[in-house]
A and B are shown apart, each in its own frame.
Chain A
């Protein structure tokens, strides 16, 4: 049972480089989320999607873009990476969003920006 899969798991970037993190879920969930987790800051919502073709900003969206072209995939892009974006990124999905749905998380993607 795959659940929520994130790729890549580790990545090192230089300042100004771009990259895309991929999140894939096989549970037919409508809602998908990207969080970042930093020491002392906890988990903060970057962007989220409530269905295919829709995206919305979370708490800390600046410097990131997202796309949800297919229901099972949610992509997080960094157009010009900055050291402040060094973090662990988690993707999550749920069947019915925050209202009733249990959140399922991926294993995380550790990004270092030099």
Chain B
């Protein structure tokens, strides 16, 4: 059974810092891994999707990497801003076509 964990559970940084969020998964036979952002009281917004054949994806100040052999993905946020404050979740698709397993999330607070 696929399990997804995220460290740390919460993170507080001053504005302008670069930071890394970690995601680990137990079953390395994944098809893709997605990173989402969730603002309080809102739904999830997809940030980046990495296919199993890829090593990383970039969008603006965000860079996500994937290492299937070690069961890890990282989300790198450059030059953090207060608007980046949110909960970040990673999710791994299982080998079947139908289910996505979510991690518990990392709550990020960027202090002005």
Q: Which of chain A's residues have a CB closer than 8 A to the CB of B32?
A: 98-100
| Interface 9-mer from B59-67, B72-80, B100-108 | B100-108
Which residues of B34-81 are within 8 A (CB) of A? 34, 36, 41-46, 49, 51
Q: Give the B-binding residues of A (Cβ under 8 A).
A: 4, 31, 33, 35, 40, 42-43, 45, 48, 50, 56, 58, 90, 92, 96-100, 102-108
In the complex with contacts A42-B102, A42-B103, A42-B105, A103-B46 CB distance below 8 A: yes
Number of A-B contacts defined by CB within 8 Å: 65
Complex Cα distance, B94 from A40, in Å, reads 22
Complex Cα distance, B94 from A98, in Å, reads 7
Please tell me the number of chain B residues within 8 Å of chain A, measured between CB atoms: 25
Q: Which of chain B's residues have a CB closer than 8 A to the CB of A108?
A: 41-43
Q: Which of chain B's residues have a CB closer than 8 A to the CB of A33?
A: 100
In the complex with contacts A48-B98, A108-B42, A108-B43, A43-B89 CB distance below 8 A: yes
Q: Are B45 and A105 in contact (CB under 8 A)?
A: yes
Q: Are A103 and B34 in contact (CB under 8 A)?
A: yes
The chain B residue with its CB closest to the CB of A96 is B97
Q: Are A31 and B49 in contact (CB under 8 A)?
A: no
Q: Are A42 and B104 in contact (CB under 8 A)?
A: yes
Q: Are A99 and B93 in contact (CB under 8 A)?
A: yes
